[in-house]
């Protein structure tokens, strides 16, 4: 009976973990698949965009150097490949071609006259990058590889060749007409390869991230107690234990699903929810600062989370009530969610670029990973022995983790300073933190069972009122009154940036310098961007790189995207970037060279070598 229950439990969990993924599909094929020397064929790649909210863009001026390319991997001396043929777009916007649904790229080729008969495996690669139709934000470029089979037949006899000349001409005509087709069916059997690799990585990241949340300062101190409580309340009845675990998992999944739904609705309303762009919001940083500070004080025993309903749920749990296990899952989510931003920032950045169904699945899998330790314990109770036994170490560890959260609180205070550059507002923020501490102490000191209920409700209300009052009084930020540096630059011309040797970037200044035939390096970063700081520290601010810039007469322009700037945003989107870091080298008469998100000194020097050394006067 116990084994049956375990098997049933595993089946249910597998169903939850393997939901339907909306991956894009790529089909490669070659037509015709059998050719003789001297004959022509077409290598084709069909992209099926399964998310109706996305599109594929292509700039004809880029040729085959953009983010939509069909390439042959390796050398095939028997074949002569031509340039890729792009189909007619579904729509043209400002000279940019847009494709929806399904379309096919084609690369014609000719079998050389001296090609030897035999089968040939050709490796091909399609690179693409989808963007959301409404918001305009783009997913990271994806690369899908595949293999197609071509059989080179022995040369035809003279008679056979003469009989087939007419058919060959007809095939050429059809191929020419088909080169502009966007929806045609592929006659030969395609070799299909789904973009399952990246989807699998996202899923594993989500589950791993959920597991990691159990070991964050917000959750780990109470993890052993929760696990032992679930074992004890089931009184060694495996069936009851699994039901409690399922309800706990359901509480976790519904909570993560609810927050995912909020993100999906907000994004559909045009709100940019990528983690980097959220960091540009003063409000977001204030909220995260407040949550981490209050949780830090909680771990330091200044106050405890005794929200209405928690005591009732705890009593129900102690009696073996299933409702308690469900609410334990909800409250575990509340404890873990505050640590998601600081500890899972990179993973969330990936998640917010996914399609809406995948975003929901991503958060559900985080919840699944979050509940996984309890699931393992319910299936294998002996695994509880792997957890350290509750003891004084938990109090010490919990208090130490409280200081970790206070340190993370300071991180958001620093972000607020970077966003506002306002001394008075920074002081007001610190005063708000002070009054939050007073409110937390008041709540933790008097909202306790030993006091009468009216005392608890009164002082609990006073504590909440203090936080509301201090927030409304101290956190009045009016960014519209701040000076707009970008507008000042447009009037004054080249304005030195804070860093020596750099000038404040504007598109107008860049175009002016380009017209003058000067090489220009553009860096757009943000105070909250870790990769930006890494590039500056390890590459851009190194003496040999600075010397290389000066030797080649490169003018360096710096854009500050710490706070969202529509001008900078439109400029980056123009060159296929949805955020920072953005680094690009503009060389007169050449295509701009875009640097990777993280790059080395050798990468930059290689790009700079394309600029002639400026001769000294």
Q: What is the pLDDT of residues 45-79, one digit of tens each?
A: 999 887 777 888 887 877 776 678 898 988 888 89
For residue 573, give both structure tokens: 């989107």
Cα 107 from Cα 115, distance rounded (Å): 19
Is residue 276 within 8 Å of 528, Cβ to Cβ?
yes
In this predicted structure, the answer to whether residue 152 has a pLDDT above a threshold of 70 is yes
In this predicted structure, the answer to whether residue 435 has a pLDDT above a threshold of 70 is yes
User: Residues 501-517: pLDDT tens digits?
Assistant: 899 999 889 988 988 88
Cα 139 from Cα 426, distance rounded (Å): 35
CB atoms near residue 494 (< 10 Å): 14
CA-based R_g, the chain, Å? 31
Q: The pTM is what?
A: 0.45
Cα 442 from Cα 95, distance rounded (Å): 63
User: Residues 532-568: pLDDT tens digits?
Assistant: 888 898 999 999 999 999 999 999 999 988 777 888 8
Q: Stretch 201-216: mean pLDDT, rounded?
A: 77
For residue 100, give both structure tokens: 């929806």
Query: Which of 564, 603, 566 shows the shortest CA–CA distance to 583?
Result: 603
Structure letter (DSSP) for residue 24: -
Beta pairing, strands 142-152 & 502-504: unpaired
Q: 272: pLDDT confidence band, cut at 50, 70 and 90?
A: low
DSSP 355-395: -HHHHHHHHHHHHHHHHHHHHHHHH-GGGGGGSPPPSHHHH
Query: Which of 72, 84, 80, 74 shows the shortest CA–CA distance to 35?
Result: 80
For residue 390, give both structure tokens: 């509750």
**What are the distances in angstroms from CA 167 to CA 34, 110, 247?**
15, 16, 68
**φ, ψ (nearest 5 deg) of residue 248:** -60, -45
CB atoms near residue 335 (< 10 Å): 19
Q: Stretch 606-615: mean pLDDT, rounded?
A: 82
Cα 581 from Cα 579, distance rounded (Å): 6
Where would I find the beta strands (DSSP E) of 115-209? 118-128, 130-132, 142-152, 191-194
Cα 481 from Cα 565, distance rounded (Å): 15
Number of H helices, E strands in the chain: 20, 18
CA 132 to chain centre: 14
Q: Stretch 151-178: mean pLDDT, rounded?
A: 51
Q: Stretch 367-374: mean pLDDT, rounded?
A: 86
Q: Stretch 485-505: mean pLDDT, rounded?
A: 69
Is residue 436 within 8 Å of 294, Cβ to Cβ?
yes
Query: Which of 79, 81, 160 shows the shortest CA–CA distance to 114?
Result: 79
Cα 122 from Cα 423, distance rounded (Å): 63
Is residue 135 within 8 Å of 273, Cβ to Cβ?
no
- For the chain, how far is it from start to end, CA to CA, in angstroms? 91
Q: Stretch 185-211: mean pLDDT, rounded?
A: 57
Q: 21: pLDDT confidence band, cut at 50, 70 and 90?
A: very low
Structure letter (DSSP) for residue 597: S
User: Residues 289-310: pLDDT tens digits?
Assistant: 888 888 888 878 888 754 433 4
* pLDDT value at residue 491: 37
Any idea which residue has 């909020």 for tokens? 262
In this predicted structure, the answer to whether residue 9 has a pLDDT above a threshold of 90 is no
In this predicted structure, the answer to whether residue 16 has a pLDDT above a threshold of 60 is no
In this predicted structure, the answer to whether residue 191 has a pLDDT above a threshold of 70 is no
607: Cβ contacts below 8 Å, ≥ 6 apart: 585, 593, 595
Mean pLDDT over all residues of the chain?
A: 75
Best-predicted range by mean pLDDT (144-158, 559-573, 587-601): 587-601
* pLDDT value at residue 157: 45
């Amino acid at each position: 009976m116990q084994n049956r229950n375990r098997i049933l439990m595993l089946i249910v969990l597998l169903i939850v973990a393997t939901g339907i993924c909306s991956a894009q599909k790529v089909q490669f094929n070659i037509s015709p698949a059998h050719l003789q020397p001297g004959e022509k064929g077409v290598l084709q790649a069909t992209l099926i965009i399964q998310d109706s909210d996305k599109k594929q863009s292509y700039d004809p001026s880029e040729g085959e150097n953009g983010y939509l390319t069909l390439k042959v991997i390796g050398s095939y001396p028997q074949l002569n490949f031509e340039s890729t043929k792009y189909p007619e777009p579904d729509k043209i916007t400002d000279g940019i071609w847009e494709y929806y649904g399904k379309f096919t790229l084609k690369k014609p080729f000719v079998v050389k006259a001296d090609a030897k008969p035999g089968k040939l495996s050709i490796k091909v690669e399609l690179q693409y990058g989808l963007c959301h139709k409404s918001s305009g934000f783009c997913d990271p470029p994806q690369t899908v590889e595949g293999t197609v089979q071509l059989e080179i037949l022995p040369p035809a006899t003279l008679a056979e060749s003469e009989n087939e000349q007419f058919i060959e001409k007809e095939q050429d005509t059809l191929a020419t007409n088909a080169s502009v087709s966007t929806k045609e069916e592929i006659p030969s059997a395609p070799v299909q390869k789904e973009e399952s690799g990246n989807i699998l990585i996202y899923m594993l990241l989500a589950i791993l991230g959920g597991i990691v949340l159990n070991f964050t300062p917000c959750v780990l101190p109470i993890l052993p107690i929760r696990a032992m409580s679930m074992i004890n309340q089931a009184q060694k009845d495996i069936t009851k234990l699994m039901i409690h675990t399922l309800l706990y998992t359901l509480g976790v999944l519904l909570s993560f699903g609810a927050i995912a739904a909020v993100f999906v609705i907000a994004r559909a309303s045009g709100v940019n929810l990528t983690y980097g762009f959220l960091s540009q919001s003063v409000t977001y940083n204030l909220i995260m600062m407040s949550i981490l500070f209050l949780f830090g004080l909680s771990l330091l025993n200044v106050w405890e989370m005794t929200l209405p309903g928690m005591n009732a749920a705890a009593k129900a749990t102690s009696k073996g009530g299933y409702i308690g296990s469900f609410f334990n899952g909800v409250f575990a989510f509340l404890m873990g969610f505050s640590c998601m931003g600081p500890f899972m920032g990179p993973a969330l950045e990936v998640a917010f670029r996914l399609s809406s169904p995948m975003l929901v699945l991503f958060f559900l899998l985080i919840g699944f990973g979050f509940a996984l330790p309890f699931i393992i314990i319910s299936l294998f109770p002996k695994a509880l022995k792997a957890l350290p036994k509750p003891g004084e170490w938990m109090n010490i560890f919990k208090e130490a983790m409280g200081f970790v959260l206070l340190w993370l609180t300071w991180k958001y205070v620093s972000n607020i300073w970077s966003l506002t550059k306002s001394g008075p507002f920074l002081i007001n923020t610190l005063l708000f933190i002070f009054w939050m501490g007073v409110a937390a102490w008041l709540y933790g000191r008097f909202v306790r069972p030993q006091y009468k209920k009216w005392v608890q409700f009164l002082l609990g209300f006073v504590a909440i009122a203090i936080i509301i009052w201090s927030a409304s009084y101290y956190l009045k930020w009016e960014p519209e009154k701040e000076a707009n540096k970008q507008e000042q630059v447009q009037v004054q011309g080249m304005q030195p940036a804070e860093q020596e040797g750099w000038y404040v970037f504007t598109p107008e200044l860049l175009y002016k310098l380009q017209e003058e035939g000067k090489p220009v390096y553009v860096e757009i970063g943000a105070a909250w961007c870790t990769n930006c700081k890494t590039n500056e520290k390890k590459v851009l601010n190194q003496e040999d790189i600075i010397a290389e810039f000066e030797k080649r007469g490169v003018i360096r322009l710096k854009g500050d995207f710490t706070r969202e700037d529509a001008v900078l945003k439109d400029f980056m989107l123009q060159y296929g970037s949805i955020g920072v870091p953005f680094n690009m080298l503009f060389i007169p008469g050449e295509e701009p060279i875009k640097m990777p998100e993280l790059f080395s000194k050798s990468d930059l020097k290689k790009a700079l070598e394309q600029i002639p050394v400026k001769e000294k006067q």
